[in-house]
Every structure is written in structure tokens, then in C-alpha cells.
Structure 1
């Protein structure tokens, strides 16, 4: 066992790059297609991204108070433990390990591998390495696992190595995404798609493809519109998630009382602005409506972009035949940097849990480079298994509801701790308290209720994973006492 301590190596820039880099993966280039099918209206598509951004910013600003009060490794796990009780903290950590963090790492790695296959066909998922009974390993899965192992190896070398990779790849993808936005808006200023979308800017309708291949549409209004918007926000919320990862690594941030709240503000604000502008560019380049049988990207529209790759469809209007390769490279850079941040952060949460005796004891140790080596390796192992399982897409659906639920509980913890721990030092106080944190709780709760109504299976499984953690907690505590 290495008797070492975590080193505070991360400054404000590093922390901001972790927030922004962990948020931007492949979602922004994909999910707008599904959102368009759900609500149809260009104005409501932008409104969904705006609401998502506002919700995310309020949550991030609220977390600043908790981060300033408890600037140690584990972040949100620690906040929940202190505001409520150790079991609530464990349920969060359990869900993060089983579904949220490792599921997202697996899905992002698969996205990286799929887009690599666009340039190097050897990694196409149709290429099977070997097959045994009902199990098979394809080249896409293999590359995804190699990516996870490689980034885990970099993180095992110390937080300095990890932060260099994070900063380089995050700056690269921010600049590339900004360049794509500027080019898209410039090219789209006089496009037919732009004016077509303006004509039907606030007309909401849902589009479905029937079993016989025909398309049916339904005008939305009142309760149906709010229901559709809530269901559509699963994609935008997922694309804007994982901003809280910086709180997990508070033990390695310089002046965490100041830098974590600021990094949460700057990181989420940068990503929110870029996401809204990216969708503005999409709407200026492509019509919202289209046909799944369309021969061109304009005929397919945002709704039916090939494989939901609306970013590639938009880029093809700008760059022509080179678009697929350009977007593949951009998404490879984006997902690589995203997974580095996720791998870096997640292990610190398991480290904090292990120190409390509710996770594998070896995860509470640091290696010679002052990082939680065993926790990193265990995280990589489970994420690799999820890559092989083929269920990572479902796991992501489960995780959105679970993550939102814990965000609500955590922000409610601010109110509890103001009463429970009034004497604790608060170098930063939640912006707009008590109104904005309360507004977040109301909005996020409404979305959760909406998801329970419109996506009961997905939310039911997500809630089931959380509840399953209750007996696991007591079993773990029993054996820890033994």
C-alpha cells in the first residue's frame, strides 16, 4: 500500500477544460435529429437547447456552494452523505459506477471507434474478430476497449499527464466546433433551408415512421407539446451532462474553494453557448422536415439525417464530399478528450467511497504517481465489459433519469445544509438562492415526471438500478464490519 497523498496540480484552466471537455462528446452531433422528430418546430428545438442550458447553468452555480464547503475528493458523493446520510451517498456512487460513469465511458468509446471506422474501414463493426455461441467481438468493440485501456494507462501516470491530454484535446474540439458553427452560419445565411425553417418556426408537430415505411405527423399543443418537449430533452440533457465531474477531483484542484465554482460557471457557459449556436447553424443549413427515403441531405432534413448524424449532414452542405472525413476527425478528437475527463474524474469518486468502507478497499489506495490506480483499473474493466455487452445504449437511457434524480436531491441538499450546518464556511454561495435552486428543483422534477409518463420502461429500469443499491449497501456494510 502506497502511503501517498493526492497532489493539487489542477488550476482554473485545467478545471474548466475538464468541465467543458467532459460535457462535449458526440451527442451534439447526433441528438438534434431525434429532437426534431419529437417537436418539429425550429423555434422549439432551439428552446429545448436553451432550457437545457439554463437548467445546467443553475445546477452548476448551485453546486459551487457545495464545492466550496467540501473541497475534497468524491464531490457529489460527499455532498449527499453530509446533507442526508451515508446510504444516499452510496446509492449515488453505486449508480455512477454501475451505469452513469462507466456506461457513458463505454458509449463514448464506441462512438470514437465507429467514427474511426469512417476513415479506417478495418474498425467497422461488421468485421467480426471472433464469435462463440451468441457472443461475438467485432473490431469496433475492440478499438473502444483499447481506447479505454490507453486513456486509463495515461491517467495511471499521474494527474499531470491526464491534464495535458485534457487541455490539448478540449481546446482543439472547442476551436473546431466554433469553426464549424461560423462556417455553417456564413454558408446558411442565404440558403433555402434557412428561409423554409423561418416560415414554420413555431409550428410544433411530432413525426413517426410507421411499420409500412409511411410517415405520420401529429400537431402538438397543450399537454401533448409539454410531454413531447420533456421526452425530447433526454437527448439534450445527456449531451449537457457530466459537468459535475470536476467535483469528484476536488482533492487535486488548487484553491478548490474558488476554482471549482468558477470552472463550473465557465465550462457550462461555454458549452451551452456552443450547443445553441451549433443548432442555429444546423437550422440555417438543413430543413427540419424531410423524408427517410431522401436521396440528399436536404431531402432527408434534420429529422432523417442518415443514422441521425445531423452534424455530418450539415457539414456536407459546407464541405461537400469531404464532410464525412472532417466530421469523423472532429468527433474522434471530441470523444477522445471527453473520455479522458470521464476516466480521470470517476476514479476519484470510488476512491472516496472506498475510504468510507463502502467500496473495494484497494480502491482507497494511491499508486506511486499519487492517483487511485486500482479504482482506475476497476473502472476500465467494468466499462470494457459494457462495451462487450452491447447494452450501453440502453444504459445511457437509464442513466439520464437517474442522474437527473440525484441532481435534484443534491441541490435540495443546499437547503438542508443551510439549516443543518449553518456554521460551515461558505466561500461561495449558490447564485440566486433560494429562488434559482428552487426553480431548478421544480423544472427538473417536472422533467422527471414527464419521463416517467412518456418513457416508463427506461425510467423504471433507471430507478430500479438505484433501488437495487439499497440491499447492496447493507451487504457491503456487513462485510466491512466483518
Structure 2
């Protein structure tokens, strides 16, 4: 056992490169292969399409700034759970972890595993009966990899993030080099900007911001990073800047190849663009790229999410078994197994889609609340209650306020577009309140019994 493996607590095995790969892998899933069509449908013109993706990238970059400072202040496993607990109390933090465990992370695992299986079936020609075994097999395999240490999980993430970037590089390279030789696909009459520009841009921002979400997950493994105070902010900034660059180039490829009208009409922009440029081989290649991308994203969610459940259980707010780290591998082994079992159940019953629809707004609700904790920490810093940190969010307080406003927009927009699903999501999150009260009372009784026992023993 080397010096980087403590006898208790997490092992610091994640370096800067792995941190950057976690950020990129946590953002790039299947969204960039599909969502550009939705954006083009809502804003119509090439300039506005690229402009919305650039605007969303700016919001994501501010989020990286915010999470970079928070990660330097508290480089502990659990990320947003820890920040919310320390700034606003145990209940908001618990509801964040409860939502992740019940539906956000586990539902995402189930949904992405099925997406991976669907693309694998399309790639291999296997029958529909293989969909569920492939999805469950992917969950079991990657949970096993991450059970045996953060290093195998991070290495797996590195490999699949590099592969998905290579697939995107081929897409972008083909688009930039060959699109000029392809037939014109733009409509005879160029598309016009929408009548209500503000509303259209706002509506287009929703799928864009969802495509950019995911950078925050690297903070969940802050305690396992080498020199997190230095490397975590760097990983966040480098990773988000890299993703913004890739997203803009990918959209430029779609627009050069398909045109704004063709992009808006496409159900699979990446496949249509590369198919037009490289033929059927291009379609097969990008199908494999999407399968690799979803597999890497699946690994990322499986890797980082159990750290949140472990932090919650360590606070006495859930089954204590989930708080334990494996004595050899220094991973939240029980939490990983618990997550895999619940995600497989959701996959088998097919309920993950409904759960994700119910809480589609929850991620950005947490983003906004987490950004608000920065104001609490800055206030404590001014009063001398916490030390000053070297890394500072540029443009404070305007930039985090803009980020919170963007998060609120996504939350309100998601709720307004489907109020019934939003209500169901609120009820599911609200169901965590009695669970929290139960564990809080149980912890108080246990603490009281311990005090009595110590007094009697004295």
C-alpha cells in the first residue's frame, strides 16, 4: 500500500488530466449529437444557432468558476451536498442527495444504459431482445470497475472520453474540410429570425444548458484528487473551455453540411451530417461514436454519484452501511452496489423515463442553490469565520448572480412547459422530508443513548 492510500478516508488518485477528462466526460453525452436540431428549430438562423450555443457556454463557464472556488474552499467528497449542508443546513443537502439517489442519478444511469444499448443494437444488428441485457450488463460492468478503486474508474473515463473526442474530431474535421464540396442543402429562401427574438433565444437555451450540464460532478470526487485546491479549479476551467470549443465546432459542421433548415428538420444531425459527407460508413462511424460517448457518460455517473450517498450516510441521514469505505479499495463500495441495484430495477421496470421527466428541473435547481452558497462563504470570509482562498470567481458578485438567474430560468421554463410533471417531481422530492426527519430523530436518540451510557460508565 503506497503513501497515497490512507488507512481511512478516500485515496488521492485523480490527477489533473483525469480531472479534465471527468469534466468533459460529465458534460458530453448524447446531447451534442441530437439537441442542435431543437435549437435550430427555435431560432432558425445559423448566426442565432451558434450564438445560443456560445451563450450557453458562457453560462457553463461561470458555473465552472463558481464550482472551482467552492471546490477550493471545501475539497471534500460529495460536492454540492457538502456546500448546501454547510451553508444552508442539513435538509436542503439531504433533499439534493435524496433526489439524486431516488431518481436523478439512478434514473440517468438507467436511461443512458438503455441509450447505449439502443445504439449498440443499431451498430451490431442484434435483436430487440438484447436491449435489456446489454443495458443491465453495462451497469454491472461499470459498477464493478468503480467498486475496485477510483483509479480503474478514472482510467476507464479517460479512455472513453478520449474516444468520444476522437469521434467528434472526425465529425468536425470532415465538416470543415469536405462540407464546401457537398451539395447546397439550404432552402432557396434563407431562414429568417423568429418574430420574438427574446422568447426564441430563451426557449433554445433550455436544451443548450442541459447539454452543457455535468461539469459539477467532478466536485463529487474532490477528496480523491491530487492537490484539489490547485487541480480542481484548473480541471473545471480547462474541461468546460474544451467542451465549449467542441460544441461550437460541431454546430458549425452541422450548419455547413445541412444548413439551418436541414439541421432543424433532422432527427439525427450527427448521423445525417457525416452520412452526407462520408456515406454509409460515416453513419456507422458516428453511431459507434454515440455508443462510446454514452458508455463513457454512464461510467462517470456511476463513478461520482455514490460519493454523495456516502457523505449523506456519514452524516447519519441514511443507512450507515452506505457510509463505509472499502478497507482495501477506499471506495464507497456499498453505496456503489446500492446504486447499481436501484438503477437496474428502474431499467427493468421502465420507470426511469417518467422519473427523469418529473425532475428534469432538479439539476438546475441544485446548480442555482449551490451557486448561492458562494455568497454565504464570502460573507463568512469577510467576518473572519473562514480563511480567504486564492482562487476567486471573476466578476463576483455579478457573474454568480447571472448564473443563478440562468438556473432559475431553466427551472421555471421546465415547470411551465409541463406543470404536472413538475408537481410530481416536487412531490417525489418532498417525500424525502419525512425520511430526513426519521433519520434525524434516530441519530438524536443514538447520540442521547451514547451520552447516557458514558455518564453511567463514569
Superposition TM-score, scaled by structure 1 size: 0.85
C-alpha distance in 2, partners of 1:427/1:397?
40
Map of 1:407 onto structure 2: 367
Shift of 1:174: 1.2
Deviation track 1:242-280 (CA, whole Å, cap 9, x = no partner) reads: 211111111100111111111111111111111121111
Matches within 5 A, 1:171-182: 171-182=162-173
Of residues 188-197 and 453-462 in structure 1, the stretch that sits farther from structure 2 once superposed is 188-197
User: Paired residue for 1:261, among 233, 241, 258?
Assistant: 233
Matches within 5 A, 1:417-436: 417-422=377-382, 423=384, 424-425=386-387, 426-436=389-399
RMSD: 2.1
Shift of 1:194: 6.4
Matched residue of 1:393: which SS?
A: helix
User: Paired residue for 1:186, among 158, 163, 177?
Assistant: 177
C-alpha distance in 1, partners of 2:221/2:372?
22
Matches within 5 A, 1:388-467: 388-422=348-382, 423=384, 424-425=386-387, 426-467=389-430
Asked if structure 1 preserves the Cα contact closer than 8 Å seen for 2:362 and 2:411, the reply is no
C-alpha distance in 2, partners of 1:353/1:186?
51
1:235 aligns with 2:194: no
Shift of 1:193: 4.0
C-alpha distance in 1, partners of 2:199/2:356?
20
1:18 aligns with 2:11: no
Asked if structure 1 preserves the Cα contact closer than 8 Å seen for 2:186 and 2:260, the reply is no
Paired residues, what number?
Answer: 436
Shift of 1:232: 3.5
Asked if structure 2 preserves the Cα contact closer than 8 Å seen for 1:57 and 1:268, the reply is yes
Superposition TM-score, scaled by structure 2 size: 0.89
C-alpha distance in 2, partners of 1:120/1:21?
24
Map of 1:346 onto structure 2: 305
Q: 1:320/1:253 Cα in 2 relative to 1: closer, same or farther (>3 Å)?
A: same
1:326 aligns with 2:285: yes
Deviation track 1:59-105 (CA, whole Å, cap 9, x = no partner) reads: 11111111111001111100011111111111111111122211222
User: Paired residue for 1:362, among 298, 315, 321?
Assistant: 321
C-alpha distance in 1, partners of 2:177/2:357?
35
Shift of 1:169: 1.4
1:6 aligns with 2:10: yes
Shift of 1:191: 4.2
Structure 1 unaligned residues grouped into runs of 5+: 128-138, 205-220, 290-300
Map of 2:453 onto structure 1: none
C-alpha distance in 2, partners of 1:235/1:460?
21
Q: 1:282/1:71 Cα in 2 relative to 1: closer, same or farther (>3 Å)?
A: same
Q: Which has the higher helix share?
A: 2
C-alpha distance in 2, partners of 1:397/1:238?
13
C-alpha distance in 2, partners of 1:22/1:323?
25
Map of 1:385 onto structure 2: 345
Q: 1:277/1:394 Cα in 2 relative to 1: closer, same or farther (>3 Å)?
A: farther
C-alpha distance in 1, partners of 2:395/2:287?
41
C-alpha distance in 2, partners of 1:399/1:322?
38
